[in-house]
Structure 1
Amino acid sequence: MKLPYSVTFLGTGTSQGIPVIGSEHPVCLSENPKDKRLRVSVLLQWDDYNYVIDCGPDFRMQMLRNNVKHLNAVLLTHDHSDHTAGLDDIRPYCFKQGGFVTFYAEPIVYEALHKRFEYIFASENKYPGAPTIKEEEILNLENFSIGGKTVIPIRSLHNKLPVLGFRIEGFTYLTDVKTISLSEIEKIKGTDVLVVNALREAPHPSHLTLSEALELIDKIQPKKAYLTHISHLLGFHDEVEAQLPANVHLAYDGLKIKI
């Protein structure tokens, strides 16, 4: 029996967030809360389980906003800062939950994090008070289990960087995608809800544009799709939302959906 669960969009913005520091762009000056976007992340919840995909620089604020009192694990899509810079802010969970937080990531991601956060991963003379990460490796795109649910890793390319998406039952989460193979698309087909990045209208070397995201959605044919990892250059939330197909929506920070 598949247990229902919820997905909360903790952040739906691109690497700079919205508003962009110092920007006078109209979207950055918007007073609509849906135009204010933290760095991209989602919270998955069922039973008493809490799982987060990516922990960027807004992780602390996202956990406080959503009153997340415990954290079972973090799944990482790739090592870029807007997806991992909040690593140190797992400390309160480490202190409350037996000394560590479990992470799921590919070996190449851990290699990068070991360099960037040497004080966290040091095997000797570790900095007192640094968080502890229990490293679970995602190898060869093999399925793994969290909280009794199977996770299917999905490979895509962020320009030339391999990144992961995740399918959990009827939900698939893809971010920082530029290209994805037909074989990986086949792993997604049949999903009820698809989340995928749509940066802006103009071409970009490492992110899907709005039209490219809509083309991918059309290939996969989910019941519903939500767009995330959004730049201020895409436009005002309400105006873009009004132009989308009936089954496609712009995600926004704080949106909660049931799967």
Structure 2
Amino acid sequence: MIETLKLPEMADLWQDTLGWQPSVEQQQLFQQLYEGILEGNQQFNLTRITDPVDFWEKHLWDSLRGVWSQESGFRSESNPTSCLKVIDIGTGAGFPGLPVAIAFPQSSVTLLDSTRKKINFLETLRCQLGIENATTVTGRAEAIAIIQQHRQAYDVALLRAVAPADVCAKYALPLLKTGGVAILYRGHWTDDETQSLKPVVEQFGGVIESIEGFSTPITNSIRHCLYLRSCLPTRELPIIAS
């Protein structure tokens, strides 16, 4: 067993940056998630971020900051309960998908990764934490995009530390409903990168709706979130019935 470390609550920072605070139950789930990741880290090398404050900022806060934009749909007045169907592509250690599932229990979050041992770990952890609105799938985005169950099936796609932005767009847009949004979590970002990305997004039936730059609240690290809106059905791909 590893030493139990306690996550900081950071109630003021949550409120100041997102206008939100986790409930007591959500804070307990964040703590249990942290402990579960630390335990799993001994076997699966899930993350190098293990300090409690770093974990709060770089995994919990960072995960939720990306979905706090109006473009994400999570905070929409027309959808106040956030009953969204979400897929976290290349979820790795479960970020941003698990924090999103905890913060928005009315949403349905699919955790996708091609590494079976990570998915098996996340499925066990999900069950231990009782996160019933999350499911796990082993596979690659380009493979499940031709399966009827997944193609054009999601309101939101989350991609954090997965691949170059153009590859992320190709992964995400075929999985989105028309009107759905892909959220790409990036570090530094330039106008030249935007211009290079634009034709790829358009090729897959989308537009770059907005790009938000911000700093993390403790270390002031630079972050950008790209919001790609699916406007048209993606170019035809073979569909396999589920």
Same fold (TM over 0.5): no
The higher-RCO structure (CA 8 Å, 6+ apart) is 1
Query: Could you state the TM-score of these two structures normalised by the residue count of structure 1?
Result: 0.33
Which of the two has greater helix per residue?
Answer: 2
Query: Could you state the TM-score of these two structures normalised by the residue count of structure 2?
Result: 0.35
